[in-house]
Amino acid sequence: MTSTKNMVLTLLIVAIVCSVVLSFVYSYTEPRIAETQAQLTLGGLKQVINAQEFVEIIPDTLWNAVDSSGILTGIVFRVFPQGYGGPIPITVGLDLNGKITGVRIASAAEGLKETPGLGVKITEPEFKDQFIDKCAPEAQLKSDGGEIDAITAATISSRAVCNGIKNGIETYLNYLETPIDKRCVFSDAREFVEIIKDTLWYALKDADTIGIVFVGFTQGYLDCIEFMVGVGTDAKISGVEILYSSETEGIGEAIREKEFLDKFKEGSAEAITGATVSSQVLIDAIEEYITRYKEYLK
């Protein structure tokens, strides 16, 4: 009986002492752990964009980057495209023109499951820094029509990163105030020279003028529509983006769809069924603007 009592007592005392010690250690380290975690997230965000503060818009997914005087400098978002070994955690910063300011890819220690020595090379600056200053259509592998060099023997991982970033930009671009980069309507051009402030630019490549980019307005069905168009010297449209529209949800807003906008490039844009007014005014307005700026194309 004494021995049983002794056993129980010993275990009880040891357990109580251990619990007390642990609760002391916990209360001491807990704030520090929370701080480290917060700093890790914040540090990751600061690596991809130059900003002082981050305002969370979608928890753990999307942040507004704000400078010290509280002005929006861009957005940061996280995507998890499927790579070769598992999802790849990527943090991307975008400036107000929709261009990438920085890319951060989690290391193997942080949960990246790509093949050591091959796929994990996506975390190296040689690869990820290629994305800086690119906009969505350029953030693709060269073999897919973009400007990114794939890593030898790690094409799947490389392509997954590109697609994740491109899809992320397309998803979150509308969170930016002035979302469209001029390169998105004129992907061949490398430089833009302003002719009329905030309205008309020459598109240059290797110091040759290869076309123009302009911003136009028209009255839509409900509200004004603001659009950006790129036109080559051959008078062919290289791209159209809607900068602002507030047409009927689900009907007139169809003018924002890629399918409709892409038809301009083929010169075969036609009104959308059910959204005739919105789409037709846009088609007419673009034609009118091109006629107006024709002399700049010579």
Partner 1 sequence: MKRRNLFTRGLVKENAVLVLMIGLCPALAVSGTVRDAFGMGLAATFVLLFSNIIISIMRKKIPNEVRIPVFILIISTFVTIIDYVMQAFQPDLYRALGIFVPLIVVNCMILGRAEAFAYKNSVIDSILDGLGVGLGFTLALTVMGAIREILGNGTFLGMAILGEGFKESPVIFMILPPGAFLVIGVLKALINKYVKKETQ
Cβ proximity to partner 1: between 11 and 55 the closer is: 11
Window contacting partner 1 (CB under 8 A); options: 32-40, 84-92, 248-256, 288-296: 32-40
In the complex, the smallest distance separating the C-beta of residue 43 from partner 1, rounded to whole angstroms, is: 10
Contact 263, 285 (CB under 8 A): no
Q: For the purposes of burial, counting CB atoms within 10 Å of the CB of 172, is it exposed (0-12), middle (13-18) or buried (19 or more)?
A: buried
Residue of the chain from 117, 125, 250, 267 that contacts partner 1 (CB under 8 A): 117
In the complex, the smallest distance separating the C-beta of residue 18 from partner 1, rounded to whole angstroms, is: 4
In the complex, the smallest distance separating the C-beta of residue 164 from partner 1, rounded to whole angstroms, is: 21
Residue of the chain from 97, 115, 209, 248 that contacts partner 1 (CB under 8 A): 115
| 1 is a site residue for partner 1 (CB under 8 A) | no
Site string for partner 1, 94-113 (x = CB under 8 A): ---------------xxx--
Angstrom distance (rounded) from CA 267 to CA 274: 21
Cβ proximity to partner 1: between 154 and 180 the closer is: 154
Angstrom distance (rounded) from CA 230 to CA 146: 18
* Six token digits for residue 240: 């159209």
Q: How does DSSP classify residue 80?
A: -
| 196 is a site residue for partner 1 (CB under 8 A) | no
| 14 is a site residue for partner 1 (CB under 8 A) | yes
Which residue type occupies 19? S
| 23 is a site residue for partner 1 (CB under 8 A) | no
| 22 is a site residue for partner 1 (CB under 8 A) | yes
- β 200-205/191-196 pair status: antiparallel
Contact 45, 63 (CB under 8 A): yes
Contact 80, 87 (CB under 8 A): yes
Instruction: Annotate 47-63 with DSSP letters as a single string.
Output: TTS--SEEEEEETTTEE
Cβ proximity to partner 1: between 31 and 250 the closer is: 31
Site string for partner 1, 35-54 (x = CB under 8 A): -xx--x--------------
**Which residues, 118 to 157, sit near partner 1 by CB under 8 A?**
118
Q: Which helix (H) or strand (E) holds 198?
A: none
Residue with tokens 């070994």, as numbered in its chain:
85
Per-residue burial over 239-259, b if 16 or more Cβ lie within 10 Å, else e, is bbbbeebebeeebbbbbeeee
Cβ proximity to partner 1: between 29 and 47 the closer is: 29
Q: Which helix (H) or strand (E) holds 247?
A: none
| 15 is a site residue for partner 1 (CB under 8 A) | yes
Residues lying near partner 1 in the complex (CB under 8 A) are found at: 3, 6-7, 10-11, 14-15, 18, 21-22, 25-26, 29-30, 32-33, 36-37, 40, 109-111, 115-118
